[in-house]
Structure 1
Amino acid sequence: MGDLRWRDGSEERLLAVLRSATDRSTASDELASHITDWPSRYHLDRRRTNLLRPLSIGPGMTVLDVGAGTGVNSRYLAEAGASVVAVEGDALRAEMAGVRCQGLDVEVRVGSATSVTRDSNPEGFDLVVCIGVLEYAGTDPDAFLSHLASLVRPGGALVVAIENQMGLAYWLGADEDHLGRPFVGIAGYPGDTGGIRTHSRAGLAGLLSGAGMSAQRWLYPFPDYKLPVAILTDDAYRVPDAVNFVDQIVGPPVDRLRMGASAGPDSRASHRELVAAGLGPDMANSFLVVAGADQAAVDTACGGDVVAWRFTGDRRSCFMQERRVTSVAGRCVIDRRRSFPDDPQPTEPSWLSLRPAPASPTDYLAGPNLEQTALACLRAHDLTGLGDVLARFDAFMAGLAGPPSDDAAPHPYLPTGSTAVLPGDCVDLGLDNLVPLVPLGDEGGLTLIDDEWSAEGGIDRELAAIRAMWKLAWVTVASGTDHPWPRTATIDEISVSLMGLLSGSVGADPLERLYAAEAELLAVVAGGSPADHLENLRTAGRRSVAGSSGSPLAAIRSRLSWLRRLPGGRWLARATRGH
């Protein structure tokens, strides 16, 4: 663990960022503002610590963070009140961890996991956390896990996160994350891999049991354990209508932007079939395992009745939220809460605000949402059926629309001249947030769920429709859906085709109007410059099912994304795309 194989080339720059930062907390918007590429995202993105949210961490606990890297997880654990020993094999990364965790109860040690012993830590640890390290344990993972297990005090637990050797992403052709080649893991790691390997569920369960950790709770982060947006438990695969439930919580199960060699077939459809066949847990992309000598230890570290977690995307910390789905008396309910509740809400006036979470959990509405039904029509190349779905969406909007109020001030989603306006809580009126009260084809209405935002004065109906169609086009491409149009059709082109299926007009230049409004919305929600968000939206709009963003050209573009930070940088970045 003392060699340079851990490094990704970003360390010196990010060390300078950490040293100069006035806010190094897990919630830091300041650190997140320095994300420009994959390495900086990995080290600075707050979604890294979503992985730890199912764990019970609190004051008085002692935690060993094995392979602590730049201290992302160590910082989170210490902020939760734990006393942390962070051991890291690379001296530069250990220095970064020390800077990040300065002022907290974190002891950073340079060395390997085996350098920590019961002689130096006779009481052991309540938790030993091993995230993304086991795959580098060489040819004797049994001995490595046994050593970690020996550091767990009685009643404590070992937490392991690792990619699944048999994960869906790898079967769809994604590059093996550590070796950069497709199918090498599912072929049994033939040839010389330098001792690097992941494990299947059965294989990892056996290794943990062999280390004396036979009581285990398995969780499944999506799209992987590095930046999870959803985490499932085994119970998530057992709820009634588990196929639709899991699909709604996870969404696209594979990050096609990072797949590498191949874009593969429809990942979302493939995932649905796996869940239906009872193979969901065995073929999840990643594992998060909480293991102990007995069930009481596991329950202490990760108990409760939560079935699944869903996290919001990249936002300002004051807007980041999570949804916890719990099972209560045989039914699922959703508890929405802020990820960083101590962060104050913005005080500056804004046309967009985050609505308070419901005072009590709300019922999960079973069955396919409108997006799932639309995707099924797209896969079947059934434009007639898709038209019926969109007609239902149209009718729902028509029932809500009305004239603007006399005192409504214009804003990006309510431009001057709007004649048909939806209520302010319809910001996220997408097909994914509409659930039929009765099956499609029967008479009945829709229910709007997850209405977390409010726009002052309401939302222009045309812009709401355009946004909903662009979101459907985006998820179509992100999932690799086999839609009725050419595989080279871009998100922009698909969204225009979808708009053509709506009964109501969306007006002239729909994409230009959408991008202008959405860039301003993202500047409020995520921070940053509307100009940068506009550029990113245009880039996203050019993606297609056929155009894998894992291509060599896309990789070059990603590495040159730092050009945007220079004077005239947006022009330089565009030049690298040939536009």
Structure 2
Amino acid sequence: MSEVKERPVPIHLSEDEVLNRLPERIGDVILNYRYYPGKDLYSDGTIEDEILAIVKDASKVEYPAIIERKKSWPVLYHLSPLRGNIVDWLPIGRKDKVLEIGSGCGAITEKLAEKAGTVTCVDLSAKRSHINAYRNHDKDNIEIHVGNFSDIEPSLPKDYDYICMIGAFEYGQSYIHTDTPYEDFFKIIKKHIKDKGRIIIAIENKLGLKYWAGCKEDHLGTWFSGLEGYPEGGSARTFTRKGLEKIFLSCGVTEYSFYYPYPDYKFPTMIFSDKRLPNQGELTDNMRNFDRDRLMLFNEKYVFDGIVEDGLFDIFSNSFLAVIGEKLDTSYVKYSNDRAVQYALRTEITDTKEGRVVRKIPLNERAWEHIKEMKRFYNLLEERYRGSGLCINPCELKAAASSETRERGYAEFPYEKGTSLETLLDQCLEKNDMDGFYRLFDRYYELIAYGEGKEITDYDMVFGNILADGDKWTVIDYEWTIEERVPAAEIAFRALYCYVLAEEKRNKLDLGLLMGRLGISEQTAGEYRMKEKRFQKQVTGKRKSMGELRDDIGNCCVSPMMLMELHKKEILNQRIQLYYDQGEGFKEEDSRYIPDIYLDDYKIAVEIPFDGNIRALRIDPADRSCMVKMMELSLNGSPVPLHKRYVETNGKAVKTGCYVFDTQDPNITVWVSALPMTGENILSVKMEITPVPSDMALDVMGAIKKFF
């Protein structure tokens, strides 16, 4: 990391001291303390010192390895390059002035500074602003104002092209202390945007599906608090889409668009819009509880499928990205920057004057070489499959749209209409139409096998990369083409392998039958699986996925159904079942449970009243193998002798009054008819019950048999 210049600023300063130390520079970044109150009013504690040390000592290329090593939510949140995806796709150019409110540790600042002419940041924390400055020290277009937004705002200019509030608008009531803080906050912000400028707000959806499914509310860390309307208060408020629209309209705003970052705005990998909403089966990455434990009340993928089918995604999207101002041409964005640097790119669906197109845009210079290969791959694949009936979506290399942006060139493809082969196969499985499934698969195999002898292969010809529009089948993504001769059976096996792995419901497929159709042995299939693992490591650069990082951080995901079963088992273990024999033996209908009889974890005490018509009482002390020590057994105050004439069990006596049971249905029968009874009787029982593993109980019973 290059040397940076810093003039240390004490954490607590008087006003004169602050004014005498303006401005401070860290590298090329300016920190402005004119409105700093002299101390940080909020902090995440020592973790901020840890992050500050990282950005001082490490370069950005080291961040992914540090994230994996630290296994820490704050380190992941503040340093992950995926954070910048939320603004990376916006058409911010070299001449644009950007205001970022709530810039924090600079994850978004970094991306804005790469794109814009100037970036003005506002943040309350000096510590976080230092982190921001160090991580972006090589940018000469950033100024950070440290202090309360309300104090700084009057000094800000009124000609910004973009104002970004990424995870900041929800704290409006902390900045503005009025009866309508969010409306007033928005009106203040609106004063600083130029004509045809845009305000960008990223915020959690109050009704986001993840909250219904059991994730804790992002700001309070409590379950269902947003859904319940924040009954316990708190500094932040999130909104539904209608709630945000109400604020915009009350402030005189009528031109705005909603985008839907998925899985959420913090680490978005896809961004949908009203012009391009998700398809069924597309929303599969739903385990988003990196920072806290969560419940799992249902499978979010299946619920999202129903929501998408019924056109309700704009209500239950986990996050919103509101663009206030002139509408954008881009309707969909997908990021592939969680893999090796040379393969990091952004895919967009964009409307142009000539029509809708798909663009693949490199996110760095090395990835541009990867993009340029796509044109050559198109030519080679088109030649291989010419005359087969399988179309290859044409690719054209384009220069950057404007010299005013910092974008590189990109690959452009026509936007193809149709239904993915993956969806068609799923529909067959849902209908249990296996003949239809095999017809589609056989056609797929026939098409991809065309020209099999040529040394050009699309290795990633999975079902999701083929669109069917009637009889026209088109390959829409051939990024992973190789100049090698690969058997069609291997490509088809890989497509099936990826297909089944992605969805539990597809396990109904008879893979043995399909492998037989492809002529693939189990040994060959094993070799193909190993090859797939090597391929994935190549693509990811051996970096861990977000799912793996979540597992490393170690927060729990708990099923309430499982908890309920455990609780139910605990309840069952804290009661006894009592049977009454009135001369016809023991029957379930003549039994009852007696709860709340435990004195502690092992000891029970109960008094059982019964009339003179009862022949015997049977006590079932547990629903598992156990040992029972009889501490008291008396009838009407007189001890019951512990021998077989009066007491029988289906266990074995270790010694008098101590029994071991290797059954899940232990029982003790007291023959009360053999004892002196009255009209109304009370059997008093005290016993100690100790659960033991069934194999241990069996061993003890075996030892008793040998001994006796």
Report if TM-score (shorter chain) is over 0.5: yes
Cα distance between partner residues in 2 of 1:213 and 1:39: 36
Cα distance between partner residues in 2 of 1:445 and 1:368: 11
SS in 1 for 2:502: helix
Q: Could you list the per-position Cα deviations for residues 174-201 of structure 1 after superposition, in whole angstroms to 9, with x for gaps in the alignment?
A: 4333334443323323x21413331001
Aligned equivalent of 1:521 = 535
Aligned equivalent of 1:333 = 357
Please say if 1:150 is aligned against 2:181. no
Cα distance between partner residues in 1 of 2:321 and 2:164: 10
Cα distance between partner residues in 2 of 1:56 and 1:151: 19
Question: Is the contact between residue 374 and residue 479 of structure 2 (CA under 8 Å) also seen in structure 1?
Answer: no
Question: Is the contact between residue 463 and residue 513 of structure 1 (CA under 8 Å) also seen in structure 2?
Answer: no
Cα distance between partner residues in 1 of 2:320 and 2:376: 32
Aligned equivalent of 2:97 = 62
Cα distance between partner residues in 1 of 2:417 and 2:530: 35
Give how far 1:5 is off.
5.8
SS in 1 for 2:207: coil
Cα distance between partner residues in 2 of 1:343 and 1:370: 28
Question: Is the contact between residue 85 and residue 106 of structure 1 (CA under 8 Å) also seen in structure 2?
Answer: yes
Question: Is the contact between residue 149 and residue 213 of structure 1 (CA under 8 Å) also seen in structure 2?
Answer: no
Please say if 1:501 is aligned against 2:514. yes
Cα distance between partner residues in 2 of 1:354 and 1:40: 40
Question: Is the contact between residue 47 and residue 227 of structure 1 (CA under 8 Å) also seen in structure 2?
Answer: yes
Q: Could you list the per-position Cα deviations for residues 77-130 of structure 1 after superposition, in whole angstroms to 9, with x for gaps in the alignment?
A: 112133112222333322110101113211123333323222x22445332211
Aligned-pair RMSD on alpha carbons? 3.8
Question: Is the contact between residue 296 and residue 558 of structure 2 (CA under 8 Å) also seen in structure 1?
Answer: no
Please say if 1:305 is aligned against 2:332. no
Question: Is the contact between residue 353 and residue 453 of structure 1 (CA under 8 Å) also seen in structure 2?
Answer: no
Please say if 1:281 is aligned against 2:321. no
Please say if 1:18 is aligned against 2:55. yes
Cα distance between partner residues in 1 of 2:330 and 2:251: 27
SS in 2 for 1:232: strand
Cα distance between partner residues in 1 of 2:47 and 2:512: 43
Q: 1:263 to 1:512 in 2, by over 3 A?
A: farther
Between 1:71-80 and 1:265-274, the stretch displaced more is 265-274
Cα distance between partner residues in 2 of 1:381 and 1:173: 32
Percent of counterpart pairs with the same letter?
A: 24
Cα distance between partner residues in 2 of 1:12 and 1:461: 55
- Where structure 1 has 5 or more consecutive residues not aligned to the other structure, the ranges are 238-245, 292-297, 406-422, 439-443, 486-493, 543-547, 554-579
Aligned equivalent of 1:490 = none
Q: 1:81 to 1:306 in 2, by over 3 A?
A: closer
Please say if 1:178 is aligned against 2:219. yes
SS in 2 for 1:114: helix
Give how far 1:368 is off.
1.9
Please say if 1:362 is aligned against 2:416. no
Aligned equivalent of 2:578 = none
Question: Is the contact between residue 462 and residue 507 of structure 1 (CA under 8 Å) also seen in structure 2?
Answer: no
Aligned equivalent of 2:15 = none
How many residue pairs were aligned? 474
Question: Is the contact between residue 97 and residue 116 of structure 2 (CA under 8 Å) also seen in structure 1?
Answer: no
Cα distance between partner residues in 2 of 1:173 and 1:261: 6
Please say if 1:431 is aligned against 2:463. yes
Give how far 1:365 is off.
2.6
Please say if 1:35 is aligned against 2:67. yes
Cα distance between partner residues in 1 of 2:514 and 2:419: 21
* Structure whose CA Rg is larger: 2
Question: Is the contact between residue 71 and residue 86 of structure 1 (CA under 8 Å) also seen in structure 2?
Answer: no
Q: 2:445 aligns with which of 380, 390, 394?
A: 394
Mapping for residues 223-238 of structure 1, pairs under 5 Å: 223-237=263-277
Question: Is the contact between residue 435 and residue 446 of structure 1 (CA under 8 Å) also seen in structure 2?
Answer: yes
Give how far 1:136 is off.
2.9
Q: What TM-score results when the alignment is normalised by the length of structure 2? A: 0.59
Cα distance between partner residues in 2 of 1:204 and 1:327: 26
Q: Could you list the per-position Cα deviations for residues 148-189 of structure 1 after superposition, in whole angstroms to 9, with x for gaps in the alignment?
A: 333334543321100111233334444333334443323323
Q: 1:42 to 1:523 in 2, by over 3 A?
A: same
SS in 1 for 2:294: coil
Mapping for residues 219-258 of structure 1, pairs under 5 Å: 219-237=259-277, 246-247=278-279, 251-252=282-283, 254-258=285-289
Aligned equivalent of 1:551 = 557
Give how far 1:483 is off.
5.2
Between 1:497-506 and 1:91-100, the stretch displaced more is 497-506
- Where structure 2 has 5 or more consecutive residues not aligned to the other structure, the ranges are 1-38, 175-180, 379-394, 399-411, 560-708
Cα distance between partner residues in 2 of 1:155 and 1:455: 46
Q: 1:134 to 1:123 in 2, by over 3 A?
A: closer
Q: 2:341 aligns with which of 309, 314, 317?
A: 317
Please say if 1:136 is aligned against 2:142. no
Cα distance between partner residues in 2 of 1:207 and 1:184: 21
SS in 2 for 1:227: coil
Cα distance between partner residues in 2 of 1:330 and 1:380: 40
Aligned equivalent of 2:500 = 473
Between 1:370-379 and 1:279-288, the stretch displaced more is 370-379
Aligned equivalent of 2:599 = none
**Which amino acid is the alignment partner of residue 497 of structure 2?**
W
Cα distance between partner residues in 2 of 1:343 and 1:362: 18
Cα distance between partner residues in 1 of 2:66 and 2:361: 26
Cα distance between partner residues in 2 of 1:377 and 1:236: 25
Q: 2:135 aligns with which of 80, 96, 100?
A: 100
Aligned equivalent of 2:569 = none
Aligned equivalent of 1:46 = 81
Give how far 1:331 is off.
5.5
Q: Could you list the per-position Cα deviations for residues 13-48 of structure 1 after superposition, in whole angstroms to 9, with x for gaps in the alignment?
A: 4333322334x4xxxx43333332444333333332
Higher strand share: 2
Aligned equivalent of 2:146 = 110
Cα distance between partner residues in 1 of 2:257 and 2:145: 29
Question: Is the contact between residue 381 and residue 483 of structure 1 (CA under 8 Å) also seen in structure 2?
Answer: no
Aligned equivalent of 1:572 = none
Give how far 1:253 is off.
5.6
